[in-house]
Structures are given as structure tokens and as C-alpha cells.
Amino acid sequence: MSINLTLLIVMGVLYACGIYLILERSLTRVLLGLMLLANATNILILSTGGYAGLAPLFSKETAPEAYSDPLPQALILTSIVISFAVTAFMLGIIYRTWVLARQDEIQDDLEDVRVAKTPSFDAEDDAIVPLETSEFAVTPASPADRDKPDATETPNTATTREGGSA
């Protein structure tokens, strides 16, 4: 199989630009990156068919090597249609993001942020033993832990009760 150098270089440039763009935080650029990746892949499939030959219509005089390979082209057609649908859908999502948030940036996940901020100290699991052994159970066992700035934001530290493993 012979390789077409032009196709190869174009493909490489498209992949490079595409990968650069999908790493951006702006959705429109991500979409452009995905489109470049899809097209670079189409060129890759095209190049697997070798150089262009005759149209693949059978006639007895033509040698098999003279034909173009029709299969990569069929594959490319399918993948173009698929990437078209995905692009249209992404445009819809981008428009919706803009309507909702008036911005084109990818948002952080709130729950992720909350879990990441949860301190390792957990009132229910960690504070029980000192509470039970103390005669003066009114005061919290370890005030240093309780007064952490993060602790007030998280529900787990909000109460002290006994029987964490009820």
C-alpha cells in the first residue's frame, strides 16, 4: 500500500489542532476541536484506501489493482453523517448553555466540589469515643476540630449524636 504524504501531513495538522482545541474550556472551541478530530479521522480512513484509481464499477478489461477501494469511502460517508449529527447536537447544547448561564464555559460539578471540601474529620464517626468517656458530655470533645472553617459548611459535622453505627 502506498502512502499519500500530503494527506498524511494534513491529517497530522488537523489532529494537532483538534487536540489543542478540545483541551480548552470554551465549549465552542471544544466543538471545533471535535470537528477537526472527526475530519482528521476521515482523512486517515481515506488514506487506508491507497491512491485514487478508477471508479469501482466492474468491467472485465480492468485489472483489480486499477480500481479505487470503495470501502473506505463508504466508511467515511457513514462517519461524516454521524459527526454531522453530533455537531448539530453539540450546537444545541452550546446554545442552551448560553441561554441558561450566559456564558460559553464548562462549569464545575457542585457535588464534586462539595465532596472534595469535606474534611476527613467526621463528627458521627470520629467524635463519639471521647464524648462517651467524658463525664462532662456537654462540651464538644475536640474544639480544635470542630472550629475548622470547612466544617461548618458540611452537613456531616453539624450534629453530635451517639451510635454512629446504629
Partner 1 sequence: MNLANLSPLAVLLPILGAALAFLLIRHHSAQRVVSIGILSATLLLECLLLISVWDGGTTSVTLGGWLPPWGVVLVVDQFSSLMLVVSTVVSLAVLIYATGQGMADGDQEAPVSIFHPTYLILVAGVSNAFLTGDLFNLYVGFEILLTASYVLMTLGGTGPRIRAGVTYVVVSVVSSVLFLIAIAMIYGATGTITMADLAIKLAELDQGTQNLLHVMLLVAFGIKAAVFPLSFWLPDSYPTAPAPVTAVFAGLLTKVGVYAMVRTETLLFPGDTLNVPLMVVALLTMIVGILGALAQSDIKRLLSFTLVSHIGYMVFGLAMSSVAGLGAAVFYVAHHITVQTSLFLVTGLIERRGGSSSIDRLGGLAKLSPLLALLFFIPAMNLAGIPPFSGFLGKLGLLQAGVELGTPLAITLVVGGVVTSLLTLLAIARVWNRAFWRRPEDAEYPDPVLKTPGNVGVLPRTMVGSTAGLVVFGVALTVFAGPLFKVADGSAGIMLDRSAYIHSVLGDSVVVPPLVRRDDVQTGDAK
* Interacting residues with partner 1 (CB under 8 A): 1, 22, 27, 30, 34, 37-38, 41, 44-45, 47-48, 71-72, 75, 78-79, 82, 85-86, 89-90, 93, 96-97, 100-101, 106-107, 109-112, 115, 118, 155-156, 158-159, 161, 165-166
Nearer to partner 1, 45 or 62 (CB): 45
Nearer to partner 1, 54 or 91 (CB): 91
* Closest by Cα among 113, 111, 101 to 26: 101
Closest approach, Cβ 61 to partner 1, in A, equals 22
Taking a C-beta distance cutoff of 8 angstroms, is the pair 54, 66 a contact?
yes
Closest approach, Cβ 59 to partner 1, in A, equals 19
Taking a C-beta distance cutoff of 8 angstroms, is the pair 134, 141 a contact?
yes
* Closest by Cα among 45, 44, 18 to 32: 18
Nearer to partner 1, 61 or 111 (CB): 111
Nearer to partner 1, 90 or 145 (CB): 90
Nearer to partner 1, 54 or 81 (CB): 81
Coil, helix or strand at residue 105: strand
Coil, helix or strand at residue 106: coil
Closest approach, Cβ 90 to partner 1, in A, equals 6
Closest approach, Cβ 129 to partner 1, in A, equals 19
Buried b vs exposed e over 70-102: b needs ≥16 C-beta within 10 Å? eebeebbeeeeeebeeeeeebeeebeebeeeee
Closest approach, Cβ 47 to partner 1, in A, equals 8
Buried b vs exposed e over 37-63: b needs ≥16 C-beta within 10 Å? bbbbbbbbbbbebeeeeeeeeeeeeee
